[in-house]
Structure 1
């Protein structure tokens, strides 16, 4: 079978020694038992997973059951596997040599397949984009975008650091992917965890982190004003309306905020979604009201994240790291 007909799989583990010394790849979910006993279709795997782990959310059931099904039925003998080991920071490339085996002697990694390791290369031998792809959050996944790079590494003429002298062109796009993924995560968590009044409390805390004093209106009787904010002890006051709805904000909704404002007030409208064209035009023509959409809100969260209350930092857990960026011309 030609290389281009073989799939390339990525896999992660907490037990590097099991993989490297035992010449296997394996995944957990030991409570699922022998996967061969489950009917050979994805729906059956989902049903079984939901029975074994009843508290798992629907999307997580689909992801986990999909990985188990993929490991047993989609991965074929002759396919390649890429395993980044943490203990020695190497990228290990092998070929699957055996069918699925349920190994009850293992405590956790009971779902196994035999593999022959072909090469063990330092991470620096690969582009940043390739490393990012095999850094997937999934346990078992298909490698697609940088498959050719990993296949090239199997060539006998491959040099471990053959790209070290050249600038890695994947650095910029990879950094952008990481940033965009982080922004998507923040917006999804806001939408999932902070509906209605809960989002008002979060926006008030963000404004506090930005240096404003805030008063959250009592539930129910706010006349369209969710938060009142002041920069200092003196006017002007800023009247804030917050919407967690999925649809774009219409012009009439912003006009209701304008109607609640007195002379000298400023308005702030915050939404997780966006504004219709007419609403955006209204905002452009009404400079005393500032509109913040979901994308702009995420930018502010990233900027002031460290000053948010611990409650919200736990709700949206982020770790500050340095990532490589493309060099400026």
Structure 2
């Protein structure tokens, strides 16, 4: 595992007009209070993983039961559609998805009488495409990567006058993904209330970075500078790490990763701006480390995918040099996010 420790804030050029992530979950929580399937997800102590990792405590925010979609993504796109209210009826929402964002778009569209069109890459498993279709979405396969699918979705949105609902942001497209990320704040707001003590470390995985940035901004608001926030990416898709290291937005190069939900080569600009300010380190895990970590999580009763357990995998894989860089000791209390359930 590779660890890049940074001195906050990191200057990243080209993001001057990009907003920082929002930091107040109150509006989203008020909307969720009116949703019959919304409920707080549990925070569980993973004693066996703490022993394996050589730390005092590991707390896991378990998102596998979130709103029937088995992922934190239920909080994002569906929240945006709910904000649109009656205006959503009859509208077509289009997006690309490497995983559960598409399910949130599909479920939100179905709930509010809208249509969902989801673009996915050829590499996305058939089982996931079937889950999207079960939620009422029209699924279109394009290209070999998430980025190719997103380009197709953006082009079709412009051609058809559809509403593009992406969880990634780029130049000229920030308003909608800013609200998607606002939905993710609920996860961290719950965890902050549930944690018996402030953590010394937060390990959180990232694809384009929306979840990591939402967790980081609220962790800083609640706990200040004390926690060391570690952003975990696949070695094959280090878009945030490479961008922070270069001081500019970078398109990462790498093969297809088994961490499919995290296999994103271009960072969300909003997330990058937030994490350049709020994150202390960026960790890259190998495919083998991801598999080992997911297996350890399963044995500990936390079955997930290599993507969903990536934060735990990084904690388990960190070597002595990484522990020193992160100041990770036998007295550390670590918060991780189990971001999705296992594939079925």
TM-score bracket, normalised by the shorter chain, equals under 0.3
Q: Structure 2-normalised TM-score?
A: 0.23
Which structure would you say has the larger Rg?
A: 1
State the structure with bigger RCO (CA 8 A, min sep 6), 1 or 2. Answer: 2
